[in-house]
Amino acid sequence: MAEKMESLAKAQKGFLGIDSARNSVGITVSYWESLEAIKKWKQQTDHLEAQLKGRQDWYSWYHVRICKVEREYHFNAQ
């Protein structure tokens, strides 16, 4: 389902990217160009179905944060 949601998100207007890590806790961060783009993704039909399935079958809890990235930088010693 995660792969399907990533594919759908990439097709949405305003999608900028995604980062994900899965170990004892799964974390997925998606990046969007605006709050309006986030709202439309939240209302996307297949995404709504995945959210429902998540609440019913996969998760006992989850936490959502909507944040604004003010600055980004990288370091690469190679």
pLDDT band at 77 (very low <50, low <70, confident <90, very high): very high
pLDDT band at 62 (very low <50, low <70, confident <90, very high): confident
Within 10 angstroms of residue 74's Cβ, the number of other Cβ atoms is 4
pTM metric for this prediction: 0.78
Three-state DSSP state, 13 = coil
d(CA 56, CA 41): 20
pLDDT in tens, 37-61: 999 999 999 999 999 998 999 888 8
Task: Give the CATH number of domain 2-58.
Answer: 3.30.70.100
Domains in the chain: boundaries: 2-58
The better pLDDT of the pair 41, 26 is held by 41
